Structure 1
Amino acid sequence: MAHIVILGAGIGGMPMAYELKALLGANDRVTVVSNTSTFHFVPSNPWVAVNWRTRDAVEFEAAPYLAKKGIAFDGAGAKRLHPERNQVELGDGRLLDYDFLVIATGPKLAFDEIEGLGPQGYTQSVCHVDHAVTAGAAWDKFTAAPGPVVVGAAQGASCFGPAYEFAFIMDTDLRKRKIRDRVPMTYVTPEPYIGHLGLSGVGDSKTMLESAMRERHIKWICNAKILKVEDGKMLVAEHDENGAVKKQHELPFAYSMVLPAFKGIDAVFGIEGLTNPRGFILIDEHQRNPKFKNIYAVGVCVAIPPVEVTPVPTGAPKTGYMIESMVTATAHNIQAQLQGREPSAKATWNAICLADFGDSGIAFVALPQIPPRNVSWFSEGKWVHLAKIAFEKYFMRKMKTGNSEPIYEKYVLKALGILKIKEK
């Protein structure tokens, strides 16, 4: 009888639990450990931040749904991992033994790397539902007394889609309120150009996103490094293609949302052989840590090098489809080890993304994520907005029913089918 512990109950951890449980023997146990009692659908956070969704619509208690599948849940969180003795030290001091461990925690949000950044400072965030709720309250106050907006991502960020998404969602909401003319908007990003996305671009993403931002009167600053944030003011250094500072900007704002850089969580940070210097989990081609052969990792916590060197540091994103493929490969590799076989399954690491603009949206497909690619496709249309709404409902239902079937590829193929119908 084996005990598999999964750290994290998010978009990686919950599907991981369901897929593993479906593959393991009747006497094998699965326990999910999380520092929060709930699952929330992170891609919906931009909607929560402008009050298009309530918290209750995108979040639910995880334990009752996991229990229906015979999966244990512990909400104490992980204080420190002790891989040399196969134990997780929980937040309340208890020790949890494991035979296999899957790290699916997501990142630590590195707001502290920039003075004044984040919900404890002067900018908002959509990285967590807690932050999105706070951002929604601030949005209500802002729309009552509108002014300049600064939105974007900090140096070292790796997840750019939600920053673009939130910029366009804010634009849509302001137009609906008929106050868009009172809100100058500036997009700040470490990307070397608009549409880079941490992926060296996808298809015609540069041209299409630049066009969308011009059409919506959103100015931008690329190769940007945020130096400091003060109350109502952001100090930004703009760099040239060689990395030298070419201009300093002092950007006033009445509302700002900036995605931070990510790090590994404290429970694993600095464990030799397990993490890189930023605290991300080192893995081989089978999602397994090279030193600790019974530890796997999936999702944003995985160490992936940047796609290319950029004048201001950018990271490589881990999209939902990529995470799902990591989950499936990991589940089959743990099953193989329990049966005395060597791991052989590999994640596809393809990138598929649906980003909502509030009334339209963009979709991109990068197969594989790191160039050169077999497929590099990018499109815009109202169908993406509708598809993301449908996908939110589909994914939430999957998490509540415990469906172990991977759905990203299947669903996006349906979405692309919608596109073909539209084009006809």
Structure 2
Amino acid sequence: MPCKVGFGITTPAGSGRNLNPPKTTVHKVTNLNASGDGSLLACIEASGPRVCVFETSGTIDMTELGMVSINNDYITIAGQTAPSPGIMIRGISLRIEASDVLIQHVRVRTGDAIEGRTPGDRDGIYAIGKSDDTSRQPHNLVFDHVSVSWGIDETFTVKDTAKNVDILNSIVSEGLWYNMHPKGGHSKGLMMSAENMLVQGNLMAHHDDRAPLETTPSAITVNNVTYNTRQVAMRLSPLSNNDAHSGKTRTTTVAGNVRLKGPNSEESRDSAWVVVNEDRSGSKIYIENNLCDGWENPTWPCVRVDSEKGESFRVKEPPLWIEGLKVLPADDTLDYVLTNAGARPKDRDEVDSRIINDVINGTGQIINCVGTKNFEYDGRKIDCEAANAGGWPEMAVNTHTLTLPEEINGLDDSGYTNLEVWLHQLASAVE
């Protein structure tokens, strides 16, 4: 991850740089099987520093597993190593309970198969640990250029049990609205509760709400685009809602973001970028230089304050910052995100391409289903004909033989291993 900053960005991930001397194991994913030799799951379930590289493109259908957990620390999943058009992981909630994890250039599409994970807890990506178990509190997590969509609960969740998390240049899209969730209509985007989060350069499109929802004492949210939320874009939910953050004070920096209305954005609702609900005394909130498609608040642009103390928390300078962090002016954010967000932006699949075109053209909608065929679940009819994603994309299966660099564990002058430098080069080629 050269030339980037973040709270978790210094992680060695699967490189083996946490060892002296550095030592990693490269696992080649040679097939699209849900499990077994040469599968992605075999790399995920291995232990020790490891890097998953791909000698095949296509869809890895893990629906039968329901959920796949990354439980062992120090892993890199390098989707940039796959031949075009890259990798899509289908049908699961990808759960991260390990520390020092780097995931790049993969698509996680969860979907609405009846045999999948419990609908009320079917997130796309779910970073979580256990508050009463210090060995299960993941830290140093980096999600860079990932595409995640079609969650039934949240589409992307980072819980308060995690710490030092970066979500960069990614697409979070099309949380399913009226599907199998026990509450009925749901369609939620990104929920961020971990301490020390950087959310930068992402596109969140076609959700009812929570794009994002932030309930953490320390987060920086910059240069993101939210498109076609039925409700608002970002919510600063009060820390008092989260027992894990009891006694902590909020320091929040929000800048350079854009909220664009879409076909489902209700005229009866406001179009603020942020709704501030915080009530924790001593909080410091910086929200400046955002664009919000018609919302008028000359006192605090793009902000609606829904708490008694909220206005008093406004500060003139960012209370939380990272050395070297560069934030674009809001006027430049949309072009940047449309060019750079998601897995393999130079090699996007049809789903991400459609989402990008929706933002450009003001089209698309919040969807109920992945496919077009109506179905029944728990006595309810799910109307897929009216609002769907058009079905699962066909991901071409192509193969190539990867030639690893010599001395993969050797350190380059940059301080990265030779393997990491190679991975950076392959990432640049699809970015």
Q: TM-score, normalised by structure 1?
A: 0.27
Return the structure number with greater relative CO, CA threshold 8 A, min gap 6.
Answer: 1
Going by fraction, where is helix more abundant, 1 or 2? 1
